[in-house]
Chains A and B, each alone.
Chain A
Amino acid sequence: MKPEEKWLEELFKQLPDEELPAAFRDRVMQQVYAEAKRAHQRSERWGWVAIIAASLCMIGLAVLVFLYLDLPPVRVALPESDSWLFFFYIGVLTLLLLGADHLFRQYVKRKHS
């Protein structure tokens, strides 16, 4: 910088900084939090759209495979009717265990928060 420009530089440096109102920071942060929430909701929505699109693609692909590859029909053999009670018992037991696990997890989460 030329010496004759130095005085101008000095003068600019002495221009006072402007003060912001005290509430400015909180106001901006409120907007920033709202923006973060919106971005989160947007990404969540896109996540659902991706899951639905992927599921539809897989179902479509499966239908195409069945239609064009001429696969033999799927046969499902049902169990004998006298063993249904046993299957029902296993199903109820699984549901009860899942419920208990869920309640226990909630209890641990509450205790640690």
Chain B
Amino acid sequence: MELYTDTYYIGRILAGDTACFRCLLDRYSRPVFSLIVKIVRNREDAEELTQDVFVKAFRHLASFKGESSFSSWLYRIAYNTAISATRKTRHEFLAIEETLLNNVSEEEVSEMLGRTGRSEQLQRLDDALAALPADERALILLFYMQEKTVEEVAAISGLTPTNVKVKLHRIRKKLYVLLKGMEEE
């Protein structure tokens, strides 16, 4: 049961009760860490980045004006921190042809995946996510795993809602192509 709202804790912290930050940490550290691990794909780096995210959040808490929810504000810090970290390291991503993206059928992929066990499906999804660029991975994870709305994803990523919709559509298509490729191997 959640006793107090984020706004209540923020008010207390800004009034000098630093210990209240522990409550926000308990509420958000796990989902933020899960997101960052999946974006940077390294547990040690993700742990350090999550720590950075919360220290940054504490440092700039006074600038949180409540225009969005605290969770969106925090995820925005997490998104920017994780994406900046991935830019420092070189990654190679699979280039997918436009024709392949246009021809893939969602029903076909879901049917193919349906033939395998749940743990294998999850493993394949994880492998497919690993093949995506970090920013695309972050967007699709925010939308499906963290269950954010298109508007919230837009606020977090700094894109427009229309841009987010288009990007999500393309990322889904990419995932279908990757999952189909794995099935055919």
Binding site for B on A (CB under 8 A): 2, 4-5, 7-9, 11-15, 17-21, 24-25, 27-29, 31-33, 35-36, 39
Also in contact, A8 and B175, with CB within 8 A (given A25-B29, A28-B29):
yes
A36-B18 in contact (CB<8A): yes
B22-A8 in contact (CB<8A): no
* B183 proximal to A (CB < 8 A): no
Determine the residue in chain A with the shortest Cβ distance to B106. A4
B144-A8 in contact (CB<8A): yes
**Residues of chain B lying within 8 A (CB to CB) of residue A28:** 25, 29, 51, 54-55
* B47 proximal to A (CB < 8 A): yes
Task: Give the CA-CA distance A20 to B126 in the complex, in Å.
Answer: 19
- Top 10 A-B residue pairs of the complex, sorted by shortest distance between their CB atoms: A12-B144, A4-B106, A18-B34, A36-B18, A7-B110, A18-B37, A17-B34, A12-B145, A32-B58, A31-B55
**Residues of chain B lying within 8 A (CB to CB) of residue A39:** 59
**Residues of chain A lying within 8 A (CB to CB) of residue B43:** 18
Pick from A7, A9, A17, A31: contact of B30, CB under 8 Å: A17
Task: Give the CA-CA distance A8 to B125 in the complex, in Å.
Answer: 9
Also in contact, A14 and B118, with CB within 8 A (given A5-B106, A20-B30):
yes
CB distance from A63 to the nearest CB of B (A): 38
* B79 proximal to A (CB < 8 A): no
| Number of chain B residues close to chain A: CB under 8 A | 39
**Residues of chain B lying within 8 A (CB to CB) of residue A7:** 110, 113-114
Pick from B51, B59, B125: contact of A27, CB under 8 Å: B51
**Residues of chain B lying within 8 A (CB to CB) of residue A9:** 144
B172-A5 in contact (CB<8A): yes
CB distance from A32 to the nearest CB of B (A): 5
Q: A25-B22, A32-B18 are in contact. List 16 more A-B contacts (CB 8 A).
A: A2-B106, A4-B106, A4-B110, A8-B172, A12-B125, A12-B145, A13-B144, A15-B122, A15-B126, A17-B34, A18-B46, A24-B51, A25-B25, A28-B55, A29-B25, A31-B51
Determine the residue in chain B with the shortest Cβ distance to A40. B16
B106-A18 in contact (CB<8A): no
B125-136 vs A: 1/0 string, CB under 8 Å? 110000000000
* B157 proximal to A (CB < 8 A): no
**Residues of chain A lying within 8 A (CB to CB) of residue B30:** 17-20
Task: Give the CA-CA distance A19 to B30 in the complex, in Å.
Answer: 7
Task: Give the CA-CA distance A13 to B147 in the complex, in Å.
Answer: 9
Pick from A17, A20, A24, A35: contact of B59, CB under 8 Å: A35
Task: Give the CA-CA distance A36 to B144 in the complex, in Å.
Answer: 35
Determine the residue in chain A with the shortest Cβ distance to B108. A4
